[in-house]
């Protein structure tokens, strides 16, 4: 088993700097955060939160999990991503998703939700060009670049992790991704998706390795049933559906031994970078992170 890296989700928009420093002290290799413009509950902007985390830390990597790429003008996204990569000393990784589970935010931004996949593909192509070419002219369905030069360019460009669950996301990863970052996946599905991405990558004549990651919600507690209840309650509220029967398939919940056993299944299926996001009450989040770092992750160090 090669080295597995673990990340932790930032807990609270009001304590980003302190939470990032704590994650670094606990030995996590990444901090991550997601974003929405509008959602079922309060949520911030991932790139801005990670910029705050970058300024508060020295070595921990930063990954957006995920950036809703179709909601951004591609050139503006390229500038924000490049700037975050540069100011963090190359520690930023771009996690890419298409969103769509909250259609009102697409309407509010003026982006048809049915165009989100095509817009994301176009944006990723534009980012590649802007970071690699001296002058870029681009005439696409959604974006025109009239012979522009982008500076400063990040060198190397930040790694791109493609998130999702669909075949379209796997194709996007095979074409543009440095890493695959699925969520709500079983170990079996992770292995299947890795094989599928390898097949698609061959179609695009890509022979560089694509890393395998995983984004997973977790609750760890010395009492197994308490952890399971925590995760079911939190995820049911967050996703506006009943998660009581889904926790064991798609989340990490239980006592430390339970979590070690389940993580091993994902690692055996190929996961190399695992991003953990707390699914528990606010008053247990700090303990959740500590217990995971001190009683679960040492089994894989």
CATH (domain of 23): 3.20.20.30
Q: Which residues lie below 8 Å from residue 213, measured CB to CB, with a gap of 6+?
A: 161, 179, 180, 181, 182, 271, 272, 273, 274, 275
In a domain, 113, yes or no: yes
Give the whole-angstrom CA distance, residue 214 versus residue 208.
20
Q: Is residue 199 situated within a structural domain?
A: no
CA atoms within a 13 Å half-sphere pointing along the CA-CB vector of 188: 1
156's tokens? 């190397």
Residue showing tokens 């008053």: 283
Tell me what pLDDT residue 164 has: 95
Please report the pLDDT score of residue 1 as a whole number.
47
Determine the pLDDT at residue 256.
98
* pTM metric for this prediction: 0.96
C-alpha R_g of the chain: 19
Supply φ then ψ for residue 142, to 5 degrees: -120, -15
Residues recorded for the chain: 301
pLDDT value, residue 240: 81
Of the candidates 216, 220, 225, the residue with the CA atom closest to the CA atom of residue 266: 216
Does residue 280 sit within a domain? no
pLDDT means per 10 residues in the chain (301 residues)? Answer: 88 96 98 95 95 98 98 98 98 98 96 98 98 98 98 97 97 98 96 98 94 98 97 91 93 98 98 97 96 98 90
Cα 104 from chain centre: 22
Contacts of 93 (CB under 8 A, 6+ apart): 30, 61, 62, 63, 64, 158, 159, 160, 161, 179
The pLDDT assigned to 172 comes to: 98
Residue 228 lies in a domain: no
Look at the chain and report how many structural domains it folds into.
1
Residue 198 lies in a domain: no
Determine the pLDDT at residue 2. Answer: 65
271 occurs within a structural domain? no
Q: Are 238 and 9 in contact (CB under 8 A)?
A: no
Q: Is residue 239 part of a domain?
A: no
Domain region containing 64:
1-158
Q: Is residue 200 part of a domain?
A: no
């Amino acid at each position: 088993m090669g080295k597995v890296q673990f990340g932790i989700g930032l807990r609270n928009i009001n304590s980003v700097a302190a939470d990032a420093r704590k994650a670094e002290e606990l030995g996590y290799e990444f901090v991550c955060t997601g974003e929405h413009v509008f959602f079922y509950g309060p949520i911030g902007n991932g790139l801005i939160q990670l910029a705050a985390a970058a300024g508060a830390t020295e070595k921990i990597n930063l990954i957006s999990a995920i950036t809703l790429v179709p909601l951004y003008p591609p050139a503006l996204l390229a500038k924000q991503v490049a700037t975050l990569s540069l100011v963090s000393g190359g520690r930023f990784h771009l996690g890419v998703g298409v969103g769509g589970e909250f259609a009102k935010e697409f309407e509010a931004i003026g982006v048809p939700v049915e165009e989100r996949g095509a817009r994301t593909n176009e944006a990723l192509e534009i980012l590649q060009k802007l970071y690699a070419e001296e002058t870029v002219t681009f005439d696409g369905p959604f974006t025109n670049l009239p012979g522009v030069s982008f500076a400063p360019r990040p060198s190397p460009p930040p790694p791109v992790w493609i998130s999702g669950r669909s075949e379209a996301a796997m194709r996007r990863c095979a074409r543009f991704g440095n890493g695959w970052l699925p969520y709500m996946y079983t170990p079996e599905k992770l292995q299947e998706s890795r094989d599928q991405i390898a097949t698609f990558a061959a179609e695009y004549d890509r022979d560089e390795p694509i890393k395998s990651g995983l984004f997973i919600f977790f609750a760890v507690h010395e009492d197994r049933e308490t952890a399971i209840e925590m995760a079911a309650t939190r995820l049911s509220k967050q996703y506006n559906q009943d998660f009581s029967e889904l926790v064991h398939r798609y989340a990490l919940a239980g006592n430390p031994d339970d979590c070690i056993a389940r993580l091993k299944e994902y690692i055996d299926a190929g996961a190399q970078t695992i991003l953990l996001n707390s699914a528990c009450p606010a008053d247990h989040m700090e303990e959740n992170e500590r217990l995971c770092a001190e009683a679960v992750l040492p089994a894989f160090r």
